[in-house]
Chain A
Amino acid sequence: DTAVSQTPKYLVTQMGNDKSIKCEQNLGHDTMYWYKQDSKKFLKIMFSYNNKELIINETVPNRFSPKSPDKAHLNLHINSLELGDSAVYFCASNPTGAVYEQYFGPGTRLTVT
């Protein structure tokens, strides 16, 4: 009965590789997000989608490409990984209009070596 799930939980890869992180929510929410939490624990929004439509695209390198196949899923593909991409990536969701009440997934710890 997990609300927001992410796979994988840990991801270790080398510079230059391409990797994907998947997110699914079973809450029936219309809005989903990707956040990045760096080593200093600073949580920053990357993207948001509402009903499969991109709403927010912060100043994120275009090596990062989100995709929402349906409103319950939001995946994140990262090309040509760099050392600075190492962080914990969180997926979140909320009902339309309730941006404050976000439900977060458990996070994916990405380590680029």
Chain B
Amino acid sequence: EDQVTQSPEALRLQEGESSSLNCSYTVSGLRGLFWYRQDPGKGPEFLFTLYSAGEEKEKERLKATLTKKESFLHITAPKPEDSATYLCAVRTGGGSEKLVFGKGTKLTVNP
């Protein structure tokens, strides 16, 4: 069965303290890995798509990278407004188009 595991479950940082979130996956026929951001009381919001090992994507203070077994979301000099839950999802192979999500990492950035 396709699985996505995110770590840590929760992460507290001071403003400006860089760190990384991890997403490891076990899927049959990976057809893309995606990062979403979810604010409290809201639906997830799409951030990045990664398709092949070695690929990197950047957006403001966030950079996502992909290897054959895992993805990292690097947060450089975070600000309090970066506080959110970050979800990783994979697009599985087979006949049905769907995303399988991890449980997320709740990031809190203190001023």
Contacts and interface: CB of A to CB of B under 8 A. Distances in A.
Interface string B88-111: 010100001111110110100000
Contacts of B101: 42-44
Contacts of B24: none
Contacts of A56: 96-98
A104 B101 CA distance: 14
B34 interface: yes
B45 interface: yes
Nearest to B32: A100
Contacts of B32: 100
Secondary structure at the B interface, as helix, strand, loop or mixed, is: strand
B41 A106 contact: yes
A102 B46 contact: yes
Given A42-B103, A45-B98, A45-B99, A104 B91 contact: no
Contacts of B89: 100
A106 B40 CA distance: 10
B64 to A, nearest CB: 13
Contact of A103 (B46, B91, B98): B46
Secondary structure at the A interface, as helix, strand, loop or mixed, is: strand
A32 interface: no
- Of the four ranges (under 10, 10 to 19, 20 to 34, 35 or more), the interface on chain A belongs to 20 to 34
B43 A92 contact: yes
Given A100-B91, A107-B41, A41 B46 contact: no
B66 to A, nearest CB: 13
Interface in A50-108: 55-56, 90, 92, 99-107
Contacts of A42: 101, 103
Nearest to B101: A43
A41 B103 contact: yes
A4 interface: yes
A85 B40 CA distance: 20
Interface of B: 32, 34, 41-46, 49, 85, 87, 89, 91, 96-101, 103-104, 106
